[in-house]
Structure 1
Amino acid sequence: MYRFYSPEYLYLLLLIPLLMGVGFYAFRKRRAQERRFAELPLLKTLKPESSTKRRIWRNGFLLLALVFTIGMLARPQVSARQDVPKEEKGIEAMICLDISNSMLCEDVKPNRLSFAKQVLGRLFDVMRNDKVGLVVFAGNAYTQIPITTDLSAAKQFLSDISPSMVTAQGTAIGAAVDLASKSFSDNKEIGKTIIVLTDGENHEGDVLEAVGRAREAGIRVNVVGLGTSEGAPIPYEGGYLKDEGGNPVVTKFDEQMCKEIATAGDGTFFSGQSASALVRAVESQLDKLPKAVLTSSASSGYREVYGWFGLAALVCLLLEFAIQERKSRFFSKLKLFDR
């Protein structure tokens, strides 16, 4: 399995047909100008060492070098997965991450959403033996990563998360919990938990009812609260989000709501401004859940192979440099580039 980490660079390949067209046009124009002064047999006599095929080969290697260079910029990667069955004990956890606009508030540095990503990145490191999935939500909830043991892919996805992923604004915690509850296996022996990371503001729907349904299904709901009670304005288009009266909208962390959710879900409420401390607290709570054997495949994510593309580009450039435009008297007997 392979992929390109930066596929946007592949659009540069559209330059190749354009360059080929320009080269062909230049060749035809040069040939037309030459034939204004002499016919082809006479041109061969006047320029016995000239070789059209040599120019074609040189230009071809230049274009190939460009193709491989573009491929290198796109960062090709191949799967380093080794399908070796292994058995490890762990739990099942679904992460529900709030990505509403209020999560851009900077009362937690650098902002609430970035801080949440730091917490999740470190949490994924300590949950490497568990099955984890990810749901993002604002006004609606969406499953971004189905529950899996491949946490390397989950960590790579974190950097791309932003409020622009959803159009409907709000804080639909209930919808996120309901969606996450459907992602677990039927194994009743394994511990199951939902971890909600949110500022709790402007929650919508019957949150406590959704949490109650999860609890009845044997799923604990833990909450990581983000923000401060003082709050701060929401950054927006180089300034701050304003209400209809032109005043900055101040978003405040709703600690009481977060605590109620955790209590209703038979879970624990966590809060703080130290990512390391939060991860240690969550990890300690997760260790209390019953673990069961998880059968999976060993995986080490993706391996970079752009170096091979760079080497191919270098070889093409060396070949282009080695081929002279004019025929070599020494090699002319081999007739490699004869018309």
Structure 2
Amino acid sequence: MTVNDGQGDIVLDIRNLRTRIETLRGVVHPVNDVSLQCFRGRTLAVVGESGSGKSMTFLSVLGLLPPGGSIESGTVSYLGQEYTLEGKSRLSQLRGKSIGMIFQDALAGLNPSFTIGQQIGDVVRHHEKTSRAEARRRAIETLGLVGIPNPRERVDYYPHQLSGGMRQRVMIAMGVALRPQVLVADEPTTALDVTVQAQIMELLDGLRRELGMSLVIITHDLGVVARYAEEVAVMYGGRVVEHGSVRQVLKNTVHPYTEALLRSSPRPDAHVAELDPIPGQPPNLLAVPTGCSFHPRCHRRDDRELCATDIPRLRALTPTSQLTACHRAEEMALQDVSV
């Protein structure tokens, strides 16, 4: 099911994805029956607390799972063609060239032993049969595209010679060097000051429009979601619990977890003396609660124990509403729960 049928071309289609990771303490499922669609030229934000499955969903799609990780079930299609998630050759072709990913720690993501030009050039040469000179030219061109001043000079810089914001631009350059159809930005503004964060987000939004990409923003920042995304998927405990247009989800939420996230986030338009934190902790994936995994922390849980026994199905309350996975969604829809 998609919340955007008929509104654009689906570039990346994730259906019922379920990922397992074998740990020393047992098997966990950080991604559990997740379905998402990325539309050409549009921005999808994926939000939730740490451990909700946001990053792991797209690491699964790109075949970048940690040791012990594997795809248990589900399908992924790129431009309408399903590909095998365990097929390393096909995944290697898609990574970078068709689906780019920007990781949140630029300093850890760049090799300190090589210049930034070499690292961007290696991305180009891995996918295209081209000379080192041509790869260097492409690196300079891409550095200019992402707003690096004096790219002909800085192409020979090492990562430590650049500021945090510039290193993040280099990571973005590596992600868009091959002009992918989908760009996944995993917490792209982590550890950057507020001014630089705004610059990076404006850059990503501008690249989306200029290159016609589908952009996925994995973030905790609901302000970023409201400003830059058209659609938002809220994840909790490895599942999507609410998914729809940004206006639907942020203005008229019908899931208690989304409501709690909004109340616990600073907002310039909300005149409150203090934030309202979500009680408790995200679920331990080794012992996920039965029923709705959010019910131990939910102030709207069903007194008849339905929330503790039955996993709610992701569904639309009306043909035009967002998708939600909550037993009390109809009740919330009748109330004014906008925050």
Q: Give the TM-score normalised by the residue count of structure 2.
A: 0.26
Q: Which has the higher contact order (CA 8 A, sep 6+)?
A: 1
Which is higher, the Rg of structure 1 or of structure 2? Answer: 1
Q: Give the structure with the higher percent helix.
A: 1
